[in-house]
Structures are given as structure tokens and as C-alpha cells.
Amino acid sequence: MNISNYDWGLIWENHGVLLNGLLVALQVSVIALVISIFGGLLLAVMRLSKPPISWIAVAYINVFRGVPALVSVIWVYFGVALLLGVNFTVFQAGVIALSLLYSAFMAEIFRSALGAIPPGHREAGQALGMRGTRIFFSVVLPQAIKIALPNLGSMFIGMVKDTSTFTVIGLLEVVRVTQNLVSQSFQPFVLYTAAAAIYVLAAFVIDIVFRLIEGAYASPPRGAISRVLRSRKRQRIQQLMAEVGP
Amino acid sequence: MSGLNTGEPVSDEVSAANQAAPVIQLRGLRKSFGDLEVLRGIDLDVVTGQHVVIFGPSGSGKSTMLRSLNMLEQPTAGSLKVDGVEYGPGLPDEPGVRRGKVLDLRRTVGMVFQQFNLFPHLTALDNVALPLRSVRGLKGAAAQLKAAEALRRVGLLQRAAHYPQQLSGGQQQRVAIARALAMDPKVMLFDEPTSALDPELVGEVLKTMREVAETGMTMVVVTHELGFAKEIGDLNVFMEDGLVVESGPRGFFENCVSPRAREFILAVR
């Protein structure tokens, strides 16, 4: 077969279907990202707690970091139905499987981020009479999130790619959609190249989005949106300066 | 007039007015880290408005002593009374004493650290406003106004919108002083506040501290700046090996008698 036999026009003809697959993959990943950020934070705090609680977190993290996405989704979709009689939709099963896995990864990211906050900041909060929970939410956590952000971006790209394994339960994400098109056109090389390009493009856009978020979280914040927000803050401070006097 | 009168409040004019009620009273305060006893029985009285200077070689326990005044270090034995309320383990012959909560102690006593410890994700203004909101319960606008006033006191209102990393070390430390002052503490603790600064930035921090001292604020200062100590110290305490070796009023640096204190003062100078 010569390269000219490949029908590259197929990609454009089916771009709507392919991008729909990406949309499904992104929907599953975004919901799972939100869940696993909270799950990961909770696990990280448990991991840093005293023994009986920390053991639970250690066990969870070590099990779920090791399970492949493919196995996890089969287990959630078929296994839970068999064992408990609960039938998830393929979309729900995908979200649950990803959340279970990535909570474990997020836990490790947040653990190291929480550990990176200088103890002096906590002490300063204590010396000011702040309560422990208040110190955690106002002093430690915002800084930890800032440290964790670049890793969260990489995690999210990994999540989008892992949705490709959910083709096994029939979720209409990029790979499943591609398989369907291949079975109609017998052009696997063209269509899988398109699928790969879609993933690369998605990763690129996600990277840009996370860089913008990182900029907004930087001290001082960078980027257009934060510049607008900051100018309002500046105005407030100008006003205060006028009120307080020289 | 001085001597080995460990821990007695000897500042003539100040203590005369407040002899009865020291704000801070330490009796036999001890602190161990494992087998190592860092404080081996400290007695100290600080009266309202007094400026106490604590100095001594590294490892003498002076920072640990200061940090136990707001329970960042928990004393293993002895009495720590602030405003007549017991916060330490207490003394065996004083069972009926009123005991206080650590949180209340820390809301009475302000502290400035060697490493400034500003919150890097907040502006100078928000660094001062955060504890006003979360501890004093002020609303957003009121907290900001009070924070702005505190920043003006240390001459940094113009830097209110700056983040700590945009400020010099000296400016950061002055914001930290403003943050502690804004809480209206009865006592301010300073833990080697100029030791982490470039030499040319030490002056502005000492100037701010001098201004705080002039307002009549009760201060306990651990410092190696003996020139400054000489200037503000109403009560000067020389510590070594977890004990107060000698303490005395103004003129201590010329009049002290213990050989170790004299040796140390000469060596630092």
C-alpha cells in the first residue's frame, strides 16, 4: 500500500464524531479531577495523621496507585454490578474508576506539597492565636495548592489519556469512536493518527490552561485576569491609604 | 546596685509602680528535649511597660525560654503565669491557681520571629488583616482598616499591596511587627529579630522596635545586638546552659559581676 492510498480526507469528514469523543473524555476527566482533588486532599491529611488513620490512607494509596485504569473500570462496571447489584452507566463507571485511581496519586502530590510548607508559617499562625483548622485552611492549604498545581496539570493530562481504556466498557470516547470509524472505513492508520493528534492537542491546551491558573495563583499573580482583579485590590488599598492618612 | 539577684524585677522606676503584679512570672521553668535539659529552672518577672533583654551564647536556652512564653514550646515543669493565670505545668505548692487556655495566652502575647514568617501567598495588608479577621473577629473592611493603620505605624502603608517576596528582609520584619502589634497584645516577644537580616537592613528594624518600646509596650527581646540592648533594656538577663547566670537593670553591661557575663560582653563587642 502506497501512502497515497490513505484517505486523509476521512479525518475532516468525521471530525465532528472525533471531537465528540474528546468532549466525552474531557467530561469524565474533569468530574473525576474535582473528585480526586478532594479525595486526594483527604487521603493526604489522613496519611499525615496518627497511625490507625494513616495506615488506612497508606493501604488505599498503595493499592490504587498500582491498579491499571483498564482493570479498575472493568471492576467498577461489571464487578460492582455482580457483587452489589448496582448498575452504573458507562459514564458513571468511568468517573468512579478514574477518581478511585487518581485520588491515590493526588494524595501523594498533596502530601509532599503540605510537607513543603515551612513549619515557621504554622508557628506564626499559632503565635497569633489562630486555631489549627484556621491555620490549615488560610495559611497551609493555599500554599500547598500553589505547590501542587503543576503536578495537578500533569495528572489531568494522564486522566484524559486513561479514558482511552474505557473503550472496553463501550464509553464513546476518542478511541471507541475511532474503532467504530475504522470498522466502517478500514483506514486504521489514518484514524488512529487522528486520535493521537487529538490527545496531543488536548494535552497542549490543558497545559496552557494550567499555566494560566498557576499564574493566577502566583504571588504576585500574573496574567490578564488577575491584573484586572489586582487593579481593584489596588484601588481598595489607595482608598485605605487615604482613610488612614500619612 | 546589680548583682546575682536572679530574676528579681529591678528596674527602679517601672517596677516601683507595678511591683505587685508582674505581667509575666516564671518560677522554676524547665524544658527537656528527650534527655537534653535545655531550661534548668528559670525565674523571671516582667512588669508592665518593662523592656527585657535576654542575651547569651548559642544553645544557652534563650530562644526556648522565649518560645515557652507563648507555649510554642511546652515547659516540662515549673510555673508560667501571664496576667496571674497559670499556663505551665504549675508548682506543686500552688494547687488552687487559675489555669488558662493556650489560645488565650497567645491572644495576649505577640511574637516576632527571626525568619519573619510572613504568609507568602498574602499581601502585606492581608498578612496583617488575616488574624484580625480570624482571631479578633473583625469584618473584612474593619480588619483592612486596622491592618492599614498598623502598617502605617511601621511606615509601610505604601507597601500594603506588595507580597512578602517583593519586600526587603527589613520591610518583611516590619510587616511582621505590624501583624503582631495589630492584635493589641499586652506583651511583645522578639526572637532574634535582626539575626536573619543583611547588616544594612538591621537599622530600620531596630528603629521600628525602638518606636514600639517608646509607646510603653512590654517587650521581651532575645538579641545579639548588645548596642540596642543597652539602649532599651530595663532588665538585662544573661543566660547560659539553661540558667539565668545574672540579671540587672540599666548599666548592667558596665556593672555586671559574673565572669561569664563580662567575658561574653567583651567577646561580642
Q: For residues A122 and B20, which has the higher predicted lDDT (pLDDT)? A: A122
User: Mean pLDDT over residues A77-100, rounded?
Assistant: 92
Across the range A172-198, mean pLDDT stands at 89
In the three-class reduction of DSSP (H, G, I as helix; E, B as strand; rest coil), residue A91 is classed as: helix
| Local confidence band at B17 (pLDDT 50, 70, 90 cut-offs) | very low
pLDDT band at B19 (very low <50, low <70, confident <90, very high): low
pLDDT, mean over chain B: 88
Q: Flag whether residue B193 sits within 8 Å of chain A, measured between CB atoms.
A: no
B243/B269 Cα distance (integer angstroms): 22
- Residue A124 scores a pLDDT above 50: yes
Q: For residues B145 and A244, is the Cβ–Cβ distance under 8 A?
A: yes
Element (H, E) at B110: strand B109-112
**Residue B45: closest CA among B68, B67, B25, B16:** B25
Q: Does B106 touch chain A (CB under 8 A)?
A: yes
Task: Please report the domains of chain A, with CATH numbers, ordered by start residue.
Answer: 12-184 (1.10.3720.10)
The C-alpha cell that represents B2 in the structure block: 546589680
A138 touches chain B (CB under 8 A): yes
Per-residue pLDDT at B268: 80
Is residue B144 less than 8 Å (CB to CB) from chain A? Answer: yes
What does the pLDDT read at residue A246? Answer: 62
Residue A74, C-beta contacts closer than 8 angstroms, at least 6 positions apart: A168, A169
Which of A123, A134, A236 has the CB atom closest to B72's CB atom?
A123
Angle between helix axes B169-181 and B124-134 (nearest 10 degrees) is 20
Residue B20 has pLDDT above 70, yes or no: no
Interface test with A, best of B121, B127, B162 (most A CBs within 10 A): B121
- Percent of chain B topping pLDDT 90: 70
Express as a percent the part of chain A with pLDDT over 70.
Answer: 98
pLDDT of the residue at A7: 81
How far, in Å, CA of A197 to CA of A177, rounded? 14
What's the mean pLDDT in B69-73?
93
Question: Model ipTM?
Answer: 0.87
B158 touching A (Cβ < 8 Å): yes
Interface membership of A239 toward B (CB under 8 Å):
no
Shortest CA gap B42–chain A (Å): 22
- Which stretch of DSSP H or E encloses residue A134? helix A132-135
Q: Which pairs with CB-CB distance under 8 Å and at least 24 residues apart come from A9-13? A: A10/A181, A10/A185, A10/A187, A10/A190, A10/A191, A10/A194, A11/A190, A11/A191, A11/A194
Chain B residues in contact with A219 (beta carbon < 8 A)? 120-122, 163-165
